[in-house]
Amino acid sequence: MTAVTTLSDRLTAVVLAAPDVHTLYPPKTALHALGAKLIAGEDEHRERAPKVTVSETRHGTTIKVSVGLTGEHPATSVCRNLHDIIATELAAAGATLPLNIAVRIATISTQH
Amino acid sequence: MTEPRSPHDFAGFDIPDPVRLDGHTIEELSAYLDAERTPTNFSIESSPGCQIALTALTRLRELTAHTLEVQAAVEPAPPDSWVHSIMNRIALEARTGRDIPIAHSAPTAHLTMTEGAVRGMIRVAGDSISEVIVGRCRIDGDVTVPGALVTVAVDISVAWGESIPIAADRAREAIQRQLSKHTELNITAVDITVQDIRFAGTGTVAGTSRQ
């Protein structure tokens, strides 16, 4: 049996394994903005863990990731490190250039 | 005719009612905490704004519960309007807000931190001082432009019997430490305003002291 790992799966695993990352948030949907009640029915298929968003076309590859950090190390350094490890993965995967890697820090926990 | 504003409302700011975080009101989040976050609500757990608000609500509960424990014999309970006012501020400030850029030399990088994440961090830092509860925080200046001058304004409540200047200094230091550690903002000042003193005499003492 062969396991099929997509680029999104690989990047998700890499991001979640990165130091200081404790949460990967899903991309915001239009429905989200309309309110929780409207997306309640969407919950079933949203219960899968969020993934890094990958959009690859012949014009390039765009990556979007929104994370929550533990706050142990400086968030700016962690953010740059995330970019770098994603860029390394994309290079190894032969992703279409140019690359656009958007990393957003959405929460920082500083209670420790 | 509008209702007269409670003296316990923080700084008299207009707060849109109800504030929703990814569709959830602060009351829903409070009820979710009451239920010990069970059953798991995916919509809440996957929302950064809700997570920031839950952290702040948890801390607010701990602080008010502790204060009540200590002062129960001699002091009245904090008025609901005071707690509700802070809860509303938590909801308002947990929203995503502006994107704050993070520098990187690579042209492929588009790195940002949300204003909501920074406000949440400021609130946790201020609340980490035992005699302080943060009522409101605001980031002034164009945070979307790297290097732009930015000031942070924080309203706090100080526990009765504590030194106000020392409490304000401790809160400022804690906030500056976290901002310096986690952001690249060009902070020119962290202005602390002591908005009130908690639970003295007949409840919360109105009054403002700029530190």
- The 10s digit of each residue's pLDDT in B90-113 is 999 999 999 999 999 999 999 999
For residue A38, the chain B residue with the least C-alpha distance is B23
pLDDT band at B209 (very low <50, low <70, confident <90, very high): low
Residues of B with CB under 8 A from a CB of A: 20, 22-24, 28, 42-44, 46-48, 51-52, 55, 59, 96, 99, 102-104, 106, 108-114, 116-118, 120-121, 124-125, 128, 178, 181-184
Name the residue among B43, B117, B128 with its Cβ closest to that of A107. Answer: B117
Tokens of B110: 């588009």
**Residue B108 to residue A87, Cβ atoms within 8 A:** yes
| Percent over 70 (pLDDT), chain B | 79
Residue B129, exposed/middle/buried by CB under 10 A (0-12, 13-18, 19+)? buried
Under DSSP, the state recorded for B10 is: S
pLDDT of residue B19: 81
Residue range A20-75, pLDDT digits in tens: 999 999 876 545 555 545 445 455 445 567 889 999 999 999 999 999 999 999 99
**Residue B117 to residue A105, Cβ atoms within 8 A:** yes
Q: Taking the CB of residue B127, how many other CB atoms lie within 10 A of it?
A: 22
- Which residues in chain A have Cβ-Cβ distances shorter than 8 Å to B96? 106
Q: Is residue A92 scored above 60 in pLDDT?
A: yes
pLDDT of residue B77: 60
**Residue A68 to residue B96, Cβ atoms within 8 A:** no
* DSSP letters for B42-95: HHHHT-HHHHHHHHHHHHHHHHHHHHHHHHTTTSPPPPHHHHHHHHHHHHHHTS
Residue range B1-43, pLDDT digits in tens: 444 444 444 444 445 557 889 999 999 999 999 999 999 999 9
Chain A contact probe: residue of B108, B179, B185 with most A CBs at under 10 A: B108
- Which residues in chain B have Cβ-Cβ distances shorter than 8 Å to A103? 109-112
Sequence-distant contacts of B171-179: CB under 8 A, at least 24 apart: B171/B125, B171/B126, B171/B129, B171/B132, B171/B134, B172/B211, B174/B125, B174/B126, B174/B128, B174/B129, B175/B122, B175/B125, B175/B126, B177/B125, B178/A110, B178/B121, B178/B122, B178/B124, B178/B125, B179/B118, B179/B121, B179/B122, B179/B152
**Residue B20 to residue A35, Cβ atoms within 8 A:** yes
Residue range A9-21, pLDDT digits in tens: 999 999 999 999 9
Answer with the residue of higher pLDDT: B71 or B6: B71
Name the residue among A26, A100, A103 with its Cβ closest to that of B46. Answer: A26
pLDDT average, residue stretch B134-145: 96
pLDDT average, residue stretch B54-60: 92
- Which residues in chain A have Cβ-Cβ distances shorter than 8 Å to B24? 36
Domains of chain B with CATH codes: 15-210 (3.30.70.1350)
- Which residues in chain B have Cβ-Cβ distances shorter than 8 Å to A28? 22
Q: Is residue A79 scored above 70 in pLDDT?
A: yes
pLDDT of residue A34: 52
Query: Which pTM does this prediction carry?
Result: 0.84
Q: Is residue B204 scored above 60 in pLDDT?
A: no
pLDDT of residue B11: 44
**Residue B112 to residue A103, Cβ atoms within 8 A:** yes
| Percent over 90 (pLDDT), chain B | 65
Cα torsion through A47, A51, A57, A59, rounded to 10: 140
- Asked if B145 and B183 touch (Cβ cutoff 8 Å), the reply is no
pLDDT average, residue stretch A82-109: 96
